[in-house]
């Protein structure tokens, strides 16, 4: 009987030992987790090895984040620090190297709060209406919801003035931004004109916050024009716009494209154009925060 007890005890010890061993192996695996790489360059080359002399595998973009799997330093080279990242499925390779000079270890919009205002809404205020009946209120809301998702992925706190097709008075929209203490206030619109030929992208600012309002608007406009590829109508003074002249933080109002233009109404109806608008606005916001938000 004694030997049976001894065997049971021995098995118990082996069981404890093996589970301890598993725990140690797991801890070692987690030790290889080297965190996230948040891309800070608008376009960054991914290479097959840690140096600019290695072949290019593809590109990653500002605001995107990737898991770091390895790091490499070679102080004899111009770009000495490199990180190896795991790549998404649309790449032919599962891993690649990027220069650490254009990578941050924290989310670029961590600690930043943004009030987003999808223009118009509700049964009485559709905004501009396109030749086939697409409404500005619908486009503004959909782009804003896409933008909200992208901004939250980058660590931002987002406050929406509306999240459904409801009527919200202008003063209430401004109050959302004021009462939440948002760092910036961005109103999303699509343009309208009696002239069907009018087209392109424009952004309004008010100059009550000095250069910050202007730079916010300019960052959004530049990035939108890059992403949407429509005519650049520029950054315009919007001191007459209630949303801008009543806001208590840097604010901008974007007109993505013209609802009333045949080509642009079609573009504004597509998922691709709406997602490009949200991506463009995201990169514009990140660029503004990096360069002008203190």
Q: Residue numbers of the site for Zn ion (CB under 5 A)?
A: 119, 127, 189
Shortest reach from residue 255's CB to Zn ion, in Å: 7
**In angstroms, what is the minimal distance from the CB of 187 to Zn ion?**
8
CA dist list (Å): 18 to 22, 27, 29, 128: 6, 14, 17, 68
SS3 194: coil
Angle at the Cα of 181 from the Cα atoms of 207 and 248, rounded to 5 degrees:
20
The answer to whether the beta carbons of residues 84 and 50 sit under 8 Å apart is yes
Q: Alpha helices of the chain — where are they, by DSSP H?
A: 2-31, 136-153, 170-180, 211-228, 242-245, 262-269, 271-292
User: 83 or 220: whose CB is closer to Zn ion?
Assistant: 220
Q: What are phi and psi of 128, to 5 degrees?
A: -70, 145
To the nearest 5 percent, what fractions of the chain are helix, strand and coil?
A: 40, 25, 35
**Structure token pair of residue 215:** 């730079």
CB of 185 to Zn ion, least distance (A): 15
Which lies closer to Zn ion via its Cβ, residue 96 or residue 119? 119
Smaller CB distance to Zn ion: residue 146 or 189?
A: 189
Q: How far is the CB of 269 from Zn ion (least distance, A)?
A: 17
Closest distance to Zn ion from the beta carbon of 119 (Å): 4
Check: CB of residue 125 under 8 Å from CB of residue 257. Answer: no
Nearer Cβ to Zn ion, position 117 or 183? 117
Nearer to Zn ion, 189 or 230 (CB): 189
Nearer to Zn ion, 50 or 238 (CB): 238
- Cβ closest to Zn ion, residue 120 vs residue 227: 120
Taking the complex as a whole, how short is the minimal distance between the CB of residue 137 and Zn ion, in angstroms? 8
Nearer to Zn ion, 112 or 140 (CB): 140
d(CA 125, CA 186): 19
Tell me how far, at minimum, the Cβ of 209 lies from Zn ion, in Å.
22
Beta strands 81-86 and 65-73, pairing class: antiparallel
Q: In what order do the strands lie in the sheet with 157-160?
A: 157-160, 113-118, 184-191, 251-258, 201-205, 232-237
Among candidate residues 259, 255, 194, the one with its CA nearest the CA of residue 224: 255
Query: Which residue is closest to Zn ion by CB?
Result: 189
* 3-state SS track over 132-162: CCCEHHHHHHHHHHHHHHHHHHCCCEEEECC
Closest CB 235 distance from Zn ion, rounded Å: 17
């Amino acid at each position: 009987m004694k030997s049976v007890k001894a065997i049971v005890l021995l098995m118990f010890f082996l069981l404890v030992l093996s589970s301890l061993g598993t725990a140690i192996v797991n801890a070692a695996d987690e030790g290889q987790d080297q965190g996230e790489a948040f891309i800070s360059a608008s376009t960054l080359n991914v290479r097959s090895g840690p140096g600019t002399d290695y072949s290019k595998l593809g590109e990653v973009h500002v605001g995107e984040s990737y898991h770091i799997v390895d790091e490499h330093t070679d102080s004899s080279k111009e770009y000495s620090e490199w990180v190896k990242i795991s790549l998404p499925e649309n790449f032919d390779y599962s891993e690649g190297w990027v220069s650490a000079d254009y990578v941050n270890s924290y989310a670029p919009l961590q600690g930043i709060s943004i009030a987003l205002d999808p223009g118009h809404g509700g049964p009485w205020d559709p905004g501009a209406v396109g030749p086939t009946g697409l409404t500005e209120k619908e486009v503004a809301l959909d782009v804003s919801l896409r933008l909200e998702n992208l901004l939250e992925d980058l660590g931002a706190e987002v406050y929406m003035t509306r999240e459904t097709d409801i009527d919200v008075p202008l003063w209430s929209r401004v109050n959302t931004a004021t009462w939440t203490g948002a760092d910036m206030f961005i109103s999303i619109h699509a343009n309208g004109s009696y002239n069907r030929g009018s087209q392109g992208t424009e952004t309004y600012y008010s100059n009550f916050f000095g250069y910050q309002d202007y730079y916010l608007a300019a960052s959004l406009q530049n990035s939108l024009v890059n992403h949407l590829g429509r005519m650049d109508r520029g950054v315009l003074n919007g001191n007459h716009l209630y949303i801008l002249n009543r806001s208590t933080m840097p604010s901008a109002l974007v007109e993505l494209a013209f609802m009333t233009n045949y080509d642009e109404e079609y573009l504004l109806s597509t998922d691709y154009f709406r997602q490009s608008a949200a991506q463009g606005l995201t990169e514009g916001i990140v660029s503004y925060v990096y360069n002008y938000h203190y």
